[in-house]
A and B are shown apart, each in its own frame.
Chain A
Amino acid sequence: EDQVTQSPEALRLQEGESSSLNCSYTVSGLRGLFWYRQDPGKGPEFLFTLYSAGEEKEKERLKATLTKKESFLHITAPKPEDSATYLCAVHGTKTRNAGNMLTFGGGTRLMVKP
Chain B
Amino acid sequence: NAGVTQTPKFRVLKTGQSMTLLCAQDMNHEYMYWYRQDPGMGLRLIHYSVGEGTTAKGEVPDGYNVSRLKKQNFLLGLESAAPSQTSVYFCASSTRTSGAPDTQYFGPGTRLTVL
Which residues of A pack against B, CB within 8 Å?
A: 4, 31-32, 34, 36, 41-46, 49, 51, 87, 89, 91, 96, 98-102, 104-107
CA A99 to CA B101, docked complex, whole Å: 10
**Contact, CB under 8 Å: B58 / A41:** no
Picked from B4, B41, B102, the residue with its CB within 8 Å of the CB of A100 is: B102
Contacts of B60 in A (CB 8 A): none
Q: Which residues in B have their C-beta under 8 angstroms from that of A104?
A: 42-44
**A101 and B58 in contact (CB under 8 A), knowing A32-B101, A42-B109, A45-B106?**
yes
Contact B107 A100 (CB under 8 A): no
Sample (14) of A-B pairs whose CB atoms are under 8 Å apart: A31-B100, A41-B109, A43-B106, A43-B109, A44-B43, A46-B104, A46-B105, A87-B43, A91-B101, A100-B94, A100-B101, A100-B102, A104-B42, A106-B40
**B: which residues have CB within 8 A of A?**
4, 31, 33, 40-45, 48-50, 56, 58, 90, 92, 94, 96, 100-109
A73 → chain B closest CB, angstroms = 16
Q: Which chain A residues lie closer than 8 Å to B90 at the CB level?
A: 43-44
Residues in chain A near residue B48, CB distance under 8 A: 98-99, 101
**Among the listed A4, A45, A51, which residue makes an inter-chain contact with B100, where contact means beta carbons less than 8 Å apart?**
A51
A46/B103 in contact, CB under 8 A:
yes
Give chain B residues whose Cβ lies under 8 Å from the Cβ of A31.
100-101
A87 cross-chain contacts in B, Cβ below 8 A:
42-43
Is B42 within 8 A of A34, CB to CB? no
